[in-house]
Amino acid sequence: MIKANEYFGGNVKSLALTAEGGPATVGVMAPGEYEFGTASLEIMRVISGKLSVLLPGEAAWREFGPETEFTVASGVKFLVRALEDTAYLCLYR
Amino acid sequence: MIKANEYFGGNVKSLALTAEGGPATVGVMAPGEYEFGTASLEIMRVISGKLSVLLPGEAAWREFGPETEFTVASGVKFLVRALEDTAYLCLYR
């Protein structure tokens, strides 16, 4: 049974799996702005769509489209704007 | 609100979105063998994991890993063996 989670009133949903040797989720973000917190290092890879991201300690938003990824340290918060429906793979390491 | 679906007793789950200009789902298959039917042309792209697929009219199973895809015509059935947890993006066209 695959574990499903939802956040932000159902505007972000994810499905858990093992990927590339460790825990991961694939998910979808509807357009909007979301603040996420990390409990481990996270590698966020965009599958489709586009994210604008404000990473901890950075002053400028950066955009990530398909086949690009960014890494977020453990124990921090970061802001994500989904500019359109966006599918992602998140690896927890 | 993102629409979620589940199949095969929760061993396959998917989330709906718009991707690359049309309807799509991202999903996860737990290891197992599944028969799917298509109601439109489907482009199945493997994100992580590995699928063995028996396409309509073919005699041999073919394996698809990350960053590979296969296309299935509308109105047919096909067999998929998930050899490990597999994440996919499916485009309906």
Q: What is the ipTM of this complex?
A: 0.95
Cβ–Cβ contact A17 with B under 8 A: yes
Flag residues of chain A having pLDDT under 50. Answer: none
CB B86 within 8 A of CB B46: yes
pLDDT above 90: residue B1: no
Cβ neighbours of residue B89 under 8 Å, at least 6 residues apart? A47, A48, A87, B19, B24, B25, B26, B44, B45, B47
Cβ–Cβ contact B26 with A under 8 A: yes
Of the candidates B3, B19, B24, which has an alpha carbon nearest to the alpha carbon of residue A85? B19
Of the candidates B2, B27, B49, the beta carbon closest to that of A10 is on B2
pLDDT above 90: residue B69: yes
Centre a 10 Å sphere on the Cβ of residue A13 and count the other Cβ atoms it contains. 25
- CATH number, domain A4-85, options 2.60.120.10, 3.50.50.60, 3.40.50.720, 3.40.190.10: 2.60.120.10
Mean pLDDT of chain B: 97
pLDDT at A38: 97
Q: How far apart are CA A88 and CA B6, in angstroms?
A: 19
Using the structure block, give the residue that is written with the tokens 């950066």. Answer: A62
CB B46 within 8 A of CB B53: no
- CATH number, domain B4-92, options 2.70.150.10, 1.25.10.10, 2.60.120.10, 3.40.630.30: 2.60.120.10
Residues A87, B17: C-beta atoms closer than 8 Å: yes
Residues B87, A17: C-beta atoms closer than 8 Å: yes
Q: Which of residues 27-66 of B touch A (CB under 8 A)?
A: 27-28, 30, 47-49
pTM for this predicted structure: 0.96
Give chain A positions within 8 Å (CB) of B13.
2, 4, 15
pLDDT at A1: 87
Residue spans per domain, chain A: 4-85
pLDDT above 90: residue B73: yes
CB B83 within 8 A of CB B60: no
B34-62 pLDDT, tens digit each: 999 999 999 999 999 999 999 999 999 99
pLDDT at B52: 98
Residues A26, B84: C-beta atoms closer than 8 Å: no
* B32 — pLDDT class (breaks 50, 70, 90): very high
